[in-house]
C-alpha cells in the first residue's frame, strides 16, 4: 500500500532574510578588561609565590659552577649544562624523562586542584600581574583607568601612558635578556647588548622575546589563556566531581540582589549574593564565576578574595565563592583517593624513578669504534693478524680527560701505536689504532673484540664491541 507524503508548496516556506540596514554595535573582537585591584589571602600567596619564581628565573642564569655558567642551554654547541651535569643529543632520553615527569605532575595536580598552575605558576599569569601593577601605579585604580581611556588626549594622559609603556618595555627587555641568557653567556650578553656590541642572533632573540613579552602580558593577556593556550582546552578531561576548583555556592547565594547591610536577606527572600559584580571586576579573564565552571577560569582565587571581603563588610559568613568541589556543593564528601589521581601519581613516580636511574647510571663518556674498510686484515712480520680501527671518543664531562685504551677478547693481543688520548671537555677525540692478535688465538673468521676506554683515575669507563676479521 502506497503512502502519500504531503509536500508543502515552496511559496509557503518562510525564509529569513536579515535586514542589511540594521547593524549592531554590541560585538567587539575584544572588549578591554579593566581588572580591579584585590587584597586577600590568595592574592598574597599568589604574589609571594610569583615573586619566588621570578627571583629564581632571574638568578639562575647568573650562578657559577666550577668557574662556568651553572645553567647553559647551548643550542649552537648542542650541549646543555645544568650545574655538574652536561647533556648532549645522545642524552635525549634524560630530557624526555624530564618532560614526561613534568607532564604527569601537571596532570596529577590538575586532577586534584584544577588549574592552579595557570593561576599561580604560569609565566603568562605572573607577567600579566606584573604589567597590571605598573599599569595601576601610572594610571590609577580601575575606575581611574576607565576614565583616563575615555577622556581626550592631554599632557597628563600622555605622561601616564608613556610612563606605563616605558616600564613595560624595560621589563620586557630585562625578561628577554634573562631568558636568552639561559642559552648564551649571560654576562657577555648583558654587557654587549647595552653597548650595542651583541651579535645579530643575540640581538634578534632579545628583541623578539621582548616583543612577545610586551604583547602577551600587555595586550593579549586573557586572549593567551582563552584562545591560544592548549592547556585550557584539554584540562576538562582531567576534571571530575572531586576536583578542587573556584566555585560559586548557588544554593546559598541565590536569588541574588542588592540590599541594605542592616536588612536580613531571609526576610527579603534573597540569598547572600548582593550582586555587586566584584567577582567579575577582579577576574583577569573577565568571566562571571556565578555562571558555573568555565574553561576561561585560571583558578587564581581573585574572586574568592573579593567575595570574602564583601561578605566581611556585610557580616555574612565567608565562602560564598571558594575553593571547593562539585561533590561538596551537592552536599557530598570529596574523595581524595580516586583511580584517576592515583593512576597519574603512580605513573609520575615510575617516570621519576626512571629519570633518577638514567642520571645515576649515565657515563660521561661515549665510545664508537669504526673498522678500516679499505683493508680487512693484514699479517705483520711476526705473523700476527692485524686489524685497523678508528676510535671516536666523546668527552661528555666538564673537564679535560686523558683516556687509556685496552682490548679484551683474545689471550694474546697488543695495540700497536698510541693507546692514550687527551680529549677536552665537550669535544670528540679520534684515535686510529692497530690491534695485533697471535695467530693461534684467531680461531674464527669473525670474532668479537671489546675496546675498553678508562680515564686516568679510573672513575669513568666505557666499552664498545667490534669485530676482528681474519682469513
**Nearest to 403, CA basis, from 389, 387, 419, 415:** 419
For 409-421, the pLDDT digits (tens) are 999 999 998 899 9
How far is 41 from 320, CA to CA, in rounded Å? Answer: 15
Rounded mean pLDDT, 451-462: 91
**Contact indicator for 178, 61 with CB cutoff of 8 Å:** yes
Please give the pLDDT value at position 315.
Answer: 92
Judged against a pLDDT cut of 90, whether residue 226 lies above it is answered with no
Average of per-residue pLDDT values in the chain: 88
Q: Is the pLDDT of residue 15 over 70?
A: no
State the pLDDT at residue 11. 52
Please write down the long-range contacts of 239-242, taking CB distance under 8 Å and 24 or more positions apart. 239/110, 239/111, 239/114, 239/293, 240/111, 240/338, 240/340, 241/325, 241/326, 241/327, 241/330, 241/332, 242/325, 242/326, 242/327, 242/334, 242/335, 242/336, 242/338
- Average pLDDT value for residue range 143-166: 94
d(CA 215, CA 207): 12
272-319 confidence digits (pLDDT tens):
999 999 999 999 988 999 998 888 889 999 999 999 999 999 999 999
State the average pLDDT over residues 156-167.
95
62 vs 331, higher pLDDT: 62
Q: What are the start-end ranges of the E strands in 243-320? A: 245-248
pLDDT tens across 228-260, in order? 888 877 777 788 888 999 999 999 998 999 888
pLDDT, residue 74, reads 87
pLDDT score for 471: 78
- % of residues, the chain, pLDDT over 90: 57
Least confident of 27-36, 61-70, 106-115, 460-469: 27-36
> CB within 8 A of 33, min separation 6: which ones?
221, 222, 283, 284, 285, 286
Q: pTM for the whole thing?
A: 0.79
- How many of the other CB atoms lie within 10 Å of CB of 264? 9
129 contacts: CB under 8 Å, gap ≥ 6: 46, 47, 50, 284
Please name each of the domains of the chain with its CATH number: 240-329 (no CATH), 365-469 (2.60.40.10)
Whole-number pLDDT of residue 16: 46
pLDDT band at 31 (very low <50, low <70, confident <90, very high): low
pLDDT digits (tens, 9 = 90+) for 55-90: 999 999 999 988 889 999 988 877 888 887 888 877
Residue 280 CA to residue 285 CA, distance in Å, equals 9
The pLDDT-based confidence of 392 (bands split at 50, 70, 90) is very high
Q: Is the pLDDT of residue 23 over 90?
A: no
Average pLDDT over residues 163-170: 96
Q: Identify the pLDDT of residue 362.
A: 86
Residue carrying the nine cell digits 595557570? 118
Side-chain-side CA neighbours of 120 within 13 Å: the count stands at 19
Q: What pLDDT is recorded for position 351?
A: 94
Amino acid at each position: 500500500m502506497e503512502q502519500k507524503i504531503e509536500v508543502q508548496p515552496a511559496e509557503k516556506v518562510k525564509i529569513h532574510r536579515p535586514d542589511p540596514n540594521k547593524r549592531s554595535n554590541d560585538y567587539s573582537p575584544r572588549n578591554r578588561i579593566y581588572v580591579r585591584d584585590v587584597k586577600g589571602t590568595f592574592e598574597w600567596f599568589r604574589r609571594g609565590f610569583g615573586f619566588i619564581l621570578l627571583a629564581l628565573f632571574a638568578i639562575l642564569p647568573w650562578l657559577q659552577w666550577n668557574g662556568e655558567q651553572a645553567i647553559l642551554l647551548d643550542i649552537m654547541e648542542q650541549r646543555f649544562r645544568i650545574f655538574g651535569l652536561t647533556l648532549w643529543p645522545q642524552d635525549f632520553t634524560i630530557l624526555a624523562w624530564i618532560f614526561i615527569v613534568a607532564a604527569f605532575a601537571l596532570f596529577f595536580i590538575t586532577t586534584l586542584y584544577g588549574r592552579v598552575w595557570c593561576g599561580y605558576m604560569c609565566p603568562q599569569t605572573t607577567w600579566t600581574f606584573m604589567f597590571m601593577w605598573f599599569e595601576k601605579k601610572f594610571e590609577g585604580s580601575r575606575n581611574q583607568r576607565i576614565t583616563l581611556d575615555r577622556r581626550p588626549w592631554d599632557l597628563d594622559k600622555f605622561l601616564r601612558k608613556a610612563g606605563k609603556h616605558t616600564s613595560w618595555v624595560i621589563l620586557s627587555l630585562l625578561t628577554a635578556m634573562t631568558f636568552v641568557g639561559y642559552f648564551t653567556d649571560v654576562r657577555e650578553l648583558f654587557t654587549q647588548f647595552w653597548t650595542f656590541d651583541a651579535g645579530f642572533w643575540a640581538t634578534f632573540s632579545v628583541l623578539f622575546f621582548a616583543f612577545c613579552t610586551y604583547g602577551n602580558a600587555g595586550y593579549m593577556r586573557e586572549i593567551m589563556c582563552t584562545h591560544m593556550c592548549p592547556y585550557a582546552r584539554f584540562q576538562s578531561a582531567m576534571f571530575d566531581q572531586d576536583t578542587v576548583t573556584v566555585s560559586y555556592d548557588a544554593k546559598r547565594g541565590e536569588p541574588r540582589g542588592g540590599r541594605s547591610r542592616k536588612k536580613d536577606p531571609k526576610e527579603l527572600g534573597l540569598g547572600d549574593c548582593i550582586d555587586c559584580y566584584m567577582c567579575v571586576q577582579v577576574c583577569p579573564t573577565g568571566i562571571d564565576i556565578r555562571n558555573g565552571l568555565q574553561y576561561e577560569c585560571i583558578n587564581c582565587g581573585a574572586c574568592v578574595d573579593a567575595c570574602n571581603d564583601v561578605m566581611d563588610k556585610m557580616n555574612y559568613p565567608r565562602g560564598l565563592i571558594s575553593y571547593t568541589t562539585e561533590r561538596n556543593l551537592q552536599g557530598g564528601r570529596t574523595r581524595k583517593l580516586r583511580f584517576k589521581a592515583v593512576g597519574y601519581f603512580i605513573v609520575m613516580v615510575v617516570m621519576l624513578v626512571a629519570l633518577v636511574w638514567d642520571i645515576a647510571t649515565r657515563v660521561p663518556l661515549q665510545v664508537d669504534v669504526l673498522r678500516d674498510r679499505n683493508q680487512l686484515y693484514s699479517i705483520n712480520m711476526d705473523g700476527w693478524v692485524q686489524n685497523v680501527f678508528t676510535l671516536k671518543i666523546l668527552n661528555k664531562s666538564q673537564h679535560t680527560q686523558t683516556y687509556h685504551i685496552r682490548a679484551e677478547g683474545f689471550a694474546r693481543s697488543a695495540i700497536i701505536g698510541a693507546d692514550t688520548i687527551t680529549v677536552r671537555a665537550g669535544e670528540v677525540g679520534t684515535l686510529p689504532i692497530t690491534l695485533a692478535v697471535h695467530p693461534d688465538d684467531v680461531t674464527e673468521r669473525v670474532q668479537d673484540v671489546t675496546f675498553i676506554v678508562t680515564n686516568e683515575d679510573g672513575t669513568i669507563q666505557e666499552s664498545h664491541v667490534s669485530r676482528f676479521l681474519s682469513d
